[in-house]
Amino acid sequence: MASDEIKDRAYRALTSKTGNRLFPVRWAKGALLALNSLAGQPLLEKDELVARRERDAMERERAKEIGKGLGTVGAAAVGLAAAKAAQAKQDADVAAAGVKVKDAKDAKDAKDVATAAVSAAASAAAGREAAPVMLYMDWNSRHDLKRITEVLISAGIKWQELDVTEDESTRAWVKANGGVEDLPVLFVAGEAIGGYQEVAQADVTGELGRKVFGA
């Protein structure tokens, strides 16, 4: 990539010994190298840039595979809710059948009991419909990205992941609305939860689950 060539040349210029005998040049190089380090080393030799991009791609693929795995978890959860609803209906039917119906009022009461049981079970299952969860990340998000996905998997939360490495405007928007300096940032139904520390804290207090699944 042409940008890799430019970054490679810039990095080699900063790390070369040319001009180092002059204090202003040596000081300027040191300051720029420090800024480069703080920014996550966008300037590196071409081979290292390519290797890092490949590592990032592998990390993203692993994260996607983890996300796909949550589909199975979600399906199991829905199946469990359906099974509980069916069991509740069956229990209600058995209870209704065991009632000795003496008159029409007794029959109506038994029917109401069964209907209420089925309705309650259905409501419990419907209450687990999840809010949309979006995880914004960039090339420098590897460490906290893994930790956030571990929290989401543990909480049984399905999410979508968006890489904004090449989208500077979206990345700026995410940082401004997420109230953070670095990505990744988690949003639930358009509301910023924050980075790893905020997500972990919200999970511990139960706030994360309430925002995703409701009260």
Contact 140, 183 (CB under 8 A): yes
Tell how far CA 172 is from the center of its chain: 18
Which residues is 162 bridged to in the sheet? 136
- The dihedrals phi and psi of 194, each to the nearest 5 degrees, come to 125, -165
Q: How many CA atoms lie within 13 A of 41 on its CB side?
A: 11
pLDDT per residue as tens, the chain (215 positions): 667 788 778 778 877 777 777 777 777 777 777 776 677 777 778 787 777 778 777 777 776 666 665 555 555 555 566 666 666 666 666 555 554 444 545 555 555 554 544 444 444 444 457 899 999 988 888 788 889 999 999 889 999 999 988 888 888 898 888 888 889 999 999 899 999 999 999 999 999 999 998 86
DSSP H helices, 16-45, are 23-38
Tokens coding 178: 């997420």
Neighbours of 56 (CB within 10 A): 19
Q: How many CA atoms lie within 13 A of 150 on its CB side?
A: 9
With a CB cutoff of 8 Å and minimum separation 6, the contacts of 200 are 147, 151
Q: Give the global pTM.
A: 0.42
